[in-house]
Structure 1
Amino acid sequence: MLKNFIYLNEPALDSYLSSLEDGLRAAVQAKSASSSSISGKAGVGGVGVGGDRDTQSEETISRDDTASARFERLQALARQDAERVGWIDVVNPDTDLAGVGIGALVEIECEIFIPEMIKALSPAGGLAKAIDQVQALAPLASLFGSDVTGLPPAGQLDAMKGFASTLGSDAVVVGERDDTDWRVAGKLLEPYLSGDVEGYARIVGKVSAVLRPGSWKPLLALPGMNLMGRDKRREMERKGPDEGQEDSWLQGPAIMVDVLAIYR
């Protein structure tokens, strides 16, 4: 199957592949050879000598070792030695993920979405821009007699804008399936994203955490987000989401992964 990569973390790919191939290829070279035979007769006065002459030519072709080619090799090597690599090609999540542990390399097909809260806080979601507009228009509204008493104080608006800016352009994605309660979630780094991830696709990633059934984890506390302290995060996880805030949380059973690739 030809793969259309929507996300491919090349540094992680090179790290994994170099471990399996004892280093990385700088380029791929292929040689092709061809030969031909020439027959003839030479002589004087009807007396001659016949013979054949072989000619050979060789051509060397050098190809770049592209990221997509490296991923194909990684996938093939991992499937050939799944136990050593820790590779799990998830077909039946309830069975295949039952004993999954940290460090496993998992591939699963699922429907991917970016939670609404993450969208709102992202630059594309426009929360920071909307706050700027509110702060710019508030003095004018007061000048023309409009009631601005319902607006948050300036300090709160600045705090909200600063919180949104900490997310940068990276995104948290969640994947789910109709045939299981298992979910997969992970953070995407903007430099390796090349398309719209939402919709059905295959995720490949290294498991960084396993969430037991019935437990919760706030999406903004996914590994790598670093948006809250350890004690605060644990307190929130024990308490779980407030009513109506469930979409901002990840509920177990679930796995969190360091996303390597997303493709269709």
Structure 2
Amino acid sequence: MLFNALYLDEDALANYIAALEGGLRESGTSRSKGSHGFGGSLGWGGTKIEGKSDAETENTLNLKDHNASRLQRLIDAGRENPEKVGWIETTQPDIDFAEAGTGAFIDWECDIYVPEAIAAMANHEGLSSTLSTMKALMPSAKALGLSMDGIPDTKEMDAMAAFLDQLDIAPVIIGDDSDTDWKVVGSLNKQWISPSASFDGCARIVGKVKKRVLHDRWYPMVSLAGMNLVNRDERRRMEREGPKDASQENQFVQGPLLVLDYLAIFS
């Protein structure tokens, strides 16, 4: 399989491969041998002269280990020996996910997307730019006698801009499929996201199970790694109680689901 990696946690991959293979490959050498020759004969009358020559060649190719190769070896090892690696190549989510334990690898082809609430917060640069533009236009608007009712004053805009500048939201990816109620959810480390990545559509995900959330429960997205929007006690309360009303539901993901530590998302 040839990968187009949208996301690949190279540090985690190196750790898994080192544990699986007893270390990391720095380089390798591939050799191939071949032979060639020529022959012929020359004759006249009753005399015949024959000649033949053989030669052997060797080609050497030096190879350096690559993350795509490491991921392929991990996937191959998991599928060939699922019990040893703790690998679940998911074909029946209703069965596989219900039995998946913490630490198991999930290998699943599904539809992926970024929740709207997270997308809005993660792309706050546009709102910051809008605030700056509004602030710059306010003196001209006042000079022209335009109504400023409902528009925040300069101090409020500065406070909002300062808050947005400090807001660092980890991208969140949800995976689901129309044939099952089960979902997967996890946050990404921005360091390992491909610059050309688009998390919308069908993809294959590989991740380690961190938690299983049952049918009648809700999981707050602020509890995912890298969010850091509320303290631990508040996260625990949100996990226990779920959303207070419909207006808060976009802050949660409804079970049944698996919370994953994503290793790779690729097509």
Question: One fold, TM greater than 0.5?
Answer: yes
Aligned to 2:226: 224
Using the TM superposition, give the Cα deviation of residue 26 of structure 1 relative to its aligned residue in structure 2, in angstroms. 1.1
Identify the match of residue 196 of structure 1 among 186, 195, 198: 198
Q: Does residue 16 of the first structure (1) align with residue 19 of the second (2)?
A: no
Q: 1:251 aligns with which of 243, 250, 254?
A: 254
**Aligned residues of 1:184 and 1:255 also touching (Cα < 8 A):** yes
Q: 1:162 to 1:185 in 2, by over 3 A?
A: farther
Q: TM-score, normalised by structure 1?
A: 0.84
> Tell me, which stretches of 5 or more residues in structure 1 are unaligned?
42-49
Inter-partner Cα distance in structure 2 for 1:101 and 1:17: 21
Q: Equivalents in 1 of 2:114, 2:165: separation in Å?
A: 17
* 1-structure distance, mates of 2:238, 2:159: 20
Are the counterparts in 2 of residues 10 and 192 from structure 1 also a CA contact under 8 Å? yes
1:92 is matched with: 92
Question: In structure 2, how many angstroms separate the alpha carbons of the residues matched to 1:238 and 1:145?
Answer: 52
Name which of structure 1's ranges 213-222 and 171-180 shifts more when overlaid on structure 2.
213-222
**133-142 or 107-116: which moved more?**
133-142
Letter of the structure 2 residue corresponding to residue 186 of structure 1: G
Does the CA-based 8 Å contact 2:27-2:63 persist in structure 1?
yes
Matches within 5 A, 1:62-77: 62-77=62-77
Instruction: Please list the CA deviations of residues 155-194 of structure 1 after superposition, one character each: whole Å capped at 9, or x if unmatched.
Output: 7655654554455374111111111111111112223222
Aligned runs of 1:125-144 on 2, under 5 Å? 126-138=126-138, 141-142=141-142, 144=144
1:47 is aligned to none
C-alpha spacing 1:115/1:28, structure 2 compared with 1 (3 Å): same
Q: Which residue in the other structure is 1:46 paired with?
A: none
CA deviation string 1:204-263 (max 9, x = no partner): 111122222221122232133222101111222333223133233111111111111111
After superposition, the Cα gap between the structure-2 partners of 1:26 and 1:51, relative to the gap in structure 1 and judged at 3 Å, is same
TM-score normalised to structure 2 length: 0.83
Partner of 1:45: none
Whether the aligned pair in 2 keeps the contact of 1:121 and 1:128 (CA below 8 Å) is: no
Determine the C-alpha separation between the residues in 1 that align with 2:31 and 2:124. Answer: 49
Question: Who is 1:239 aligned against?
Answer: 241
Tell me the secondary structure at the aligned position of residue 29 of structure 2: strand
Give the partner amino acid of 1:30. S
Q: 1:166 to 1:95 in 2, by over 3 A?
A: farther
Q: Aligned equivalents of 1:199 and 1:10: distance in 2?
A: 23
Amino acid at match of 1:71: L
Deviations 1:95-119 (A, max 9, x none): 0011212211111111111111212
Whole-Å Cα distance in 2 between the matches of residues 176 and 144 of structure 1? 53
RMSD, aligned CA: 3.0
Decide whether aligned partners of structure 1 residues 156 and 101 sit closer, same or farther in structure 2, where only a CA change above 3 A counts. farther
Q: Structure 1 counterpart of 2:258, which letter?
A: I
Write the distance in 2 (CA, Å) between the matches of 1:155 and 1:91: 55
Which deviates more, 187-196 or 133-142? Answer: 133-142
Distance 1:221 1:162, change over 3 A: farther
The amino acid across from 1:73 in the alignment is R
Range 145-154 or range 112-121, more displaced: 145-154
Alignment of 1:1-264 (within 5 A): 1-36=1-36, 55-123=55-123, 126-138=126-138, 141-142=141-142, 144-151=144-151, 160-168=160-168, 170-194=170-194, 195-241=197-243, 242-264=245-267
How many equivalent residue pairs? 260
Residue deviations 1:78-108 (CA, integer Å, cap 9, x gap): 1122112111111111100112122111111
**Structure 2, gaps ≥5 residues long:** 42-49
